[in-house]
Amino acid sequence: MESHKKGEETKSNDWLCWTLVLVLVGLVASASVLTLLSYFKHSKSKTGGVPDCPGPVVAQYAYALDIAMRFFDVQKSGKLVDNRIWWRGDSGLQDGSDENLDLSKGMYDAGDLIKFGLPMAFTATILSWAILEYGDQMDAVKQLGFAHDSLKWITDYLINAHPCPNVLYIQVGDPEVDHNCWQRPETMTEKRPALQINTSFPGTEVAAETAAAMASASLVFKKVNSSYSNLLLMHAQQLFTFADTFRGSYSLSIPQVQKYYNSTGYGDELLWAAAWLHHATGDESYLNYVTEINGQAFSSWGSPSWFSWDDKHAGTQVLLSRISYFGAKGISGAENIDIQMYRKTAEVVMCELLPDSPTATSSRTQNGLIWVINWHSLQHSMASAFLAVLYSDYMLTSQTEILYCDGETYKPEDLREFAKSQADYVLGQNPMEMSYLVGYGSNYPRYVHHRGSSIPVDAETGCRDGFKWLYSPEPNPNLAVGALVGGPFFNDTYVDYRNNSMQSEPSTYNNALLVALLSGLVTTSSVVQSFS
């Protein structure tokens, strides 16, 4: 990332599903059957840990999901295994060696070659959340295995980056040095120092986000690899204790991150991490942490905000709404009131997103895209759309029919339609008539701000002479397949220019949000009531 950046194939249904629906609705027109089938799958309350069978696959979203998932392979560092990107090779093999650590895995955050811990951990948390909520839908379109692989590639790195309870390595590479070079990751020549936070130089935001990543991932791997799941959970608990005991902003401890991933506060990350640890452990102390102990101080109840790598409030509010909808062990009456405050704030967020709501946000383009800032403008639309489709499914699964917005009523389907509008915009239904997902359709960005994509594989370049490829008038020789570029300006325009990093640079964390959104839209099924 550059300075100043803030950041059908139709799957046949099980015959039993059809029979149950036909019994419910009688002999009606087939179109009505399909409509009610979709509703039935969503509204049926779950009594077990396995979702109802997925409904028909939406071809365009399945195709887009397959493509978007590949960008994580584009971004991998380390010794590549089962490499799906022909122009990528091994890189960063010596990362962490100066500290006697193996930090070779992980992912480069964007178009550069730095491993930034905060956005990387957020990427892992979002991937985990998507798998936990929509893993059956990913599996229906054969993407679940790839999601597991990408997630583990990051968590392997995060485990190695946490060598002892109160030390976490949160960055590999010097961004100032890196941004003075234009090289493929396979041929990097510059030094790559590893930076840490510790008790003397704390970093509550990144430690808590890494705890959230490991706690959520522990749930993903619980039935796949129990020993690995237990290891992740141990690290998550240690990191949360570290983050909470030694409070301090990592932006102050390590000032150089301020130009790239500056934090605006750490209270949201502490709540986010504790919420995930509650889901992972069932420990009531984590629930007390987000309610009685710190609810008033950190939650911003009643105040909607934009979900992103920096601000976890809206994500936490939706995640804790799960408890309001589906229940959890150990909730006392007082705690339940606090949980309802999280849900009420989540509802405020949803009402702002609905375009016809009396409280609809004005932060959207003329063509309906949620738009907040110039830099990586699609981050907030993808995050908002993911939360909307998820909240819609919480309502349907719990048979909650109505969302009230300042006297007006809306249905779960309204939230889903909003989410679809954001995805459809990205996939080509926009004034530019182009896809913002590289490799999707025939018209997509060709001049992506991405070092590896922009330099021919056989080019021999050093640090500085590689800049000729940044300024080359030719399209990128290597396709950064699956890259979600930064996005359009407020007037719905996009300039396909490689040095226009504000618009043309992709990032792993925005891709994770797109993957999560598409996983929720690719087909339909009720969500599980518990992750455990």
Paired with 76 in beta bridges are 107
The letter for the amino acid at 291 is T
Start-to-end CA span in the chain (Å):
36
Strands 403-405 and 194-197: unpaired
Edge-to-edge order in the sheet of strand 194-197:
115-116, 168-172, 194-197
- What whole-number distance in Å separates Cα of residue 248 and Cα of residue 268? 13
**With contact defined as beta carbons under 8 Å apart, do 485 and 448 qualify?**
yes
Residues 6 or more apart whose Cβ sits within 8 Å of residue 206: 117, 118, 121, 168, 170, 197, 250
Reading the block at residue 5, the tokens are 């950046």
Tokens 């590549």 belong to 80
313 as an active site residue: the answer is no
- Per this entry, what is the length of the chain? 532
Specify whether the CB–CB gap between 495 and 434 falls below 8 A: no
From the candidates 42, 380, 449, 450, give the one annotated as an active-site residue.
Answer: 449
Identify the H or E element spanning 525: none
For residue 448, the one-letter residue type is V
Q: What is the DSSP string of 343-405?
A: HHHHHHHHHHHSTTSTT--S-B-TTS-B---STTTHHHHHHHHHHHHHHHHHHHHTT---EEE
Is residue 309 within 8 A of residue 118, CB to CB? The reply is yes
H/E element, 28? none
Which residues have a catalytic role annotated? Answer: 449
